[in-house]
A = this chain, B = another copy of it.
Amino acid sequence: MSETKRELILDAALVLFVDRGFDGTTVPMISEKAGVGAGTIYRYFENKEALVNTLFQECVGELIETINDGYPRTSDDLREQFGHIANQVIRYAKKNLNALLFLDSHTNGHYLDEASREAYMRLRTFLCEFIERGQKNKVIRPLPADALIALMDGAFIALNKCIKAGEIEETPELLAGVKEACWDAIRIH
């Protein structure tokens, strides 16, 4: 077996959560898509909530790891740091687009536990620190960090949804264009 049952379950749940949401996805749907018995899910996860929280924490963890990988921490060139973050998010989306869409659409779920919220907060703090450093250096606009992050987030997520829906083709120029648009949105001119 190339994938363990646990992985089959997580993969199936991810896809379903992305297009139907947590509350709109039933356990039988997950078990059917995963090709396992309904009871098997409970051998790996305490309940449906534990499943979504595990998934959430794993996805956030991987994204943070991806962004941190090779991050020019000591550099004081904000443009370079921005470029790294954007490139790594693109890399993450390429590897697992659904994970990115899942994170985006589940960050405010009423079913997320403390650990999930904390994991997400770590990601957010990282990004806020980047923004605030830029604001201190008068490179980034003095707007709420949340709004600036959402602006970039919104653009990338929408872009990836278009790509997923097959409406547009992913090309290096396209990605570079969105990156530039994001940078122009947050920087001071």
Contacts and interface: CB of A to CB of B under 8 A. Distances in A.
A186 to B, nearest CB: 7
Given A147-B159, A158-B149, A158-B154, A110 B181 contact: no
B146 A20 contact: no
A51 interface: no
Q: Give the interface SS of chain A, mostly helix, strand, loop or mixed.
A: helix
Interface string A136-175: 0000011110111111111101110110000110000010
B174 A146 contact: no
A178 B147 contact: yes
Contacts of A37: none
Given A150-B159, A186-B181, A189-B184, A21 B19 contact: no
